[in-house]
Each structure stands twice: as structure tokens, then as C-alpha cells.
Amino acid sequence: MDWQTTADVVPAGFVPEAGALALLGRAPATGAWREGDPVGDRRFVGIGDLPLESGATLPGVRIAYEQWGTLSPARDNAVLVLHALTGDSHVLGDAGEGHASSGWWAGVVGPGLAVDTDRWFVVAPNVVGGCQGSTGPASLAPDRVEWGARFPFLTIRDQVRAQIAFARAIGIERFAAVIGGSMGAMHVLEWAIEAPEAVERIAVLAAPAATTADQIALNSVQIEAIRTDPAFRAGAFYDAADGEGPTRGLALARRMAMLNYRTAAELNDRFERSWQSELDPLGGEGRFAVESYLDFHGNKFTRRFDANSYIVLTESMNSHDIGRGRGGVAAALGMVQAKSLVLGIDSDRYFPLAGQVEVAAGLAHSVHGPAPVVVSSDFGHDAFLIERDVVGTELARLLAA
């Protein structure tokens, strides 16, 4: 998801020129943040060893995070913002040293905005398994070699348990709100069930209670695109002699994902059947504009993400099922005590609205009753990032509740 995470909002009709990809230069083997890179606005905290649902233990876990605003003396104004699949801790701020992209929710979080950093102390961690400072596959394992494909399988629940430990490590016992979209919303639901005493409000944006077979199928082909890239080298590509990483596979996975995140209506309206430059694709030389658009963003994505992290986090999303071991989804939703906002998008073809309908119906303390807030948008799944006015209005209403 590459808005900076999934959106990549560009002006209607924008088509990268043929030389645009060349201007990006050769992609690095990984776009992960590595030790010795500029820290930027990141902070770091260790949470020790992390026991996993699989029975394994991930040793010496570190969380990278960013924060904005001031924690009140009563420590009662903390808001946790959780990112989507390819997001990170950089919710707010410019691109620059240490940050390949500008903040992914700058129109929602900040002074005077819906999540007002003059009022709220906002904290955003990079998820465990990610690639922007928290322990992940590009991090060094105890043998001082990158974890790579040896990195253990993580569930959404594992990641939330790491987030709970992180919150305690920075001295926050209770959040006024926990907010997230897409994968971040999966984490939100687990927070409300795993640590109900630590959550006053939740916002679940564009995510289901459990990942469906269709969604797992969509995810699985992206994973295979990466693994079949010859430069993947079974995940051990960080110090390849030729400097090549699985950038073609990762870019292809990204292109596939963007088709899940956006809609046919948006792509048809924006690009129609136009082609790039003066070369007609029907003549065998040119390319359709939409192809160039997907290529550009796929290749840009490889500059800021890691192929192994993409696999780890996508498999975590496949694991998502709040009802697992809790008597089913309805029973799990019945455990939630927090005031809640559930928001879905009418054109979402990745996590269709039916998933949010199920979540909202099962929550006893929804600020909007037993139905989700429905955003009408041509942007599909990405609308929770792009439709900032309506999303911001609903978040402000939740925070005032």
C-alpha cells in the first residue's frame, strides 16, 4: 500500500514518462531501514523476547516508533495509531533523511486536525516483522546475519502482544483510543479483545473480523510473485555479490496489490485507453498509460520496502481471525468493551463492506449503532486514507464520545 502506504494519490491523468523509472536509478536489494541509516524521527525501545502463538520465541525484539503531542500528567490522552501492510511509524512529517515518504496520514493527524496533536499524545509503532526499524526479516538475527526467510511466522495476535509490551515499555497503561485501517484495523480488534482494560475507544477502518479465503487467495499470488523471482535466493539476498534483490517480484506483487486497493471505475476514468508518449501499444512498441502507472509505483515501492517483510506481514494478515480459540467471531466481538467506530467503503474490493457490517453488528458499544459508517468513494480500499474529510469527521466524533 503505497500512498506512502497504499494510496499514491496522483493527479487525474498523470502518466509517468518513459524515463521516469530510469530517474529512480537501480533499486537496492532491499528498501528496509538498516542499522547505520539515518534515524529520522524514529525512536526505539526494546521489549525483550516475544513468545509467539506458534510456540517459537522471537528474541530481543525492538520497536521503532514516532510520537507527536504531549502526554498529560494523568497519562490519559494517549492515542495509538496502527499502520496498514506497507505503512510504518511515519504518520506525520516530511520525506527526508531516514524517511523515504512523507507522513501517510498527514491530513488526519496533526495540530487542529481530527486526531489533534495539540490535544492528544499520538504514538505510532512500526509493526514487528516490518522493515522500518522494528525487528523484522532485514534485522540481524543472533548469529549477526539477517533473519531473511528464517524469520518466524507471526500472527496478528503476536504483533499485538508486541504492541502491548511496547506500550508498557514507554509507560502507557491505557489508551484513550486505538485507531487503524486495513491491517492496522486487524490489530485494533485484537487490542480490544486481548487488553480490554487498556483501550477506551477503538476505530476499525476497512477490515474484517477474519480474513476470508478470497482475500487469502489474493495475498497468496503476491507472495508467489516474490518467491519466484530468481533474485529472491530463498530470502538470503541482502548481501548478494551482484547486489540484486527480488525487486521485480516485489514490484509485481505491488502492482497486483494496487488492483485490490483501487477500483475499476477509478482506473477507467483516469486512464481510459490512453497510451504513453506517441507510441501506440497496438503497434507493438508503446504501452498503455495504466501499465506505466503500475510500473512506476511498483518500482518506487521497492525503494522503501523489503521483500521478506512483505511476505511475513501478508502471511500475518492471512492468519487474522479474532474468533480463533475464542468460540468464534461473535463471541470474540462480545468481549469488546471499548466505545467503537467501524468504517467501511462501498467500493472496497479487497475487504468488502460485508466484513465491516459483521464487525459493527457484533459490537455492543458502537457510537453509530449496529451498522458501520459507510464511505461512498471511487477509490476503493484506499479511501480510508484518501477520503480524509469524512474519515477525519468520524474519528473526531469518536474521540469526543
Q: What is the pLDDT of residues 294-349, one digit of tens each?
A: 888 899 999 999 999 999 999 999 999 999 999 999 999 999 999 999 999 999 99
Give me the chain's average pLDDT, please.
92
Which pLDDT does position 264 carry in this prediction? Answer: 87
| pLDDT at residue 178 in the model | 98
Round to whole Å and give the CA distance between 290 and 13. 10
Q: Is residue 324 part of a domain?
A: yes
Q: Which of 89, 134, 182, 340 is catalytic?
A: 182
User: Are 209 and 332 a contacting pair, CB within 8 Å?
Assistant: yes
CA separation for the pair 89, 33 (Å, rounded): 12
CA-to-CA dists, residue 166 to 44, 170, 275, 322, angstroms:
10, 6, 49, 21
CA 168 to chain CA centroid, Å, is 23
Mapping DSSP to helix (H, G, I), strand (E, B) and coil, where does residue 79 land? strand
- Decide if 229 is inside a domain: yes
Query: For the purposes of burial, counting CB atoms within 10 Å of the CB of 28, is it exposed (0-12), middle (13-18) or buried (19 or more)?
Result: middle
Q: Please name the residues in contact with 352: beta carbons below 8 A apart, sequence gap of 6 or more.
A: none
Confidence of residue 281 (pLDDT cuts 50, 70, 90): low
Is 5 within a domain?
A: no
User: What is the per-residue pLDDT across 37-81, written as a single tens digit (0 to 9) for each?
Assistant: 999 999 999 999 999 999 999 999 999 999 999 999 999 999 999
- Region 244-265 average pLDDT: 94
CA atoms of 247 and 242, how far apart (whole Å): 13
The three three-digit cell numbers of residue 270, written as one number: 483516469
Which residue type does 159 have?
Answer: Q
The alpha helices in 109-238, defined as continuous H runs, are 156-169, 183-194, 213-227
Task: Tell me how long the chain is.
Answer: 401
| Residue 89 within a domain | yes
Does residue 348 carry a catalytic annotation? yes
Number of structural domains in the chain: 1
Determine how β-strand 339-345 pairs with β-strand 177-181: unpaired
Question: What Å distances lie between residue 131 and 107, 140, 224, 299, 401, CA to CA?
Answer: 24, 12, 19, 17, 35
Assess contact for 309 and 301: CB atoms under 8 A. Answer: no
Would you call 319 helix, strand, or coil by DSSP?
Answer: helix
In a domain, 145, yes or no: yes
pLDDT band at 11 (very low <50, low <70, confident <90, very high): very low
Residue 285 is predicted with a pLDDT of 65
Q: Cell numbers at residue 346, please?
A: 462501498
Provide the domain limits for residue 372: 20-400
Q: How far apart are the first and last CA of the chain?
A: 31
CATH of the domain at 392: 3.40.50.1820
Strand partners, 341: 203
**For 85-108, what is each residue's pLDDT tens digit?**
999 999 999 999 999 999 999 999
Which of 295, 348, 378, 382 is catalytic? The answer is: 348
Q: Please report whether residue 365 resides in a domain.
A: yes
- Nearest CA to 256 out of 312, 303, 217 is that of 217
Q: Give the three-class secondary structure for 59.
A: strand
In a 13 Å sphere around the CA of 288, the CA atoms on its Cβ side amount to 10
C-alpha to C-alpha distance for 387 and 60, rounded to whole angstroms? 39
Q: What is the pLDDT of residue 1?
A: 38
Does residue 248 fall inside a structural domain?
Answer: yes
C-alpha closest to that of 118 among 94, 92, 96: 92
Look at residue 187 in the predicted model and tell me its pLDDT: 98
Instruction: Reply yes or no on whether the pLDDT at 196 is more than 60.
Output: yes
In a domain, 354, yes or no: yes
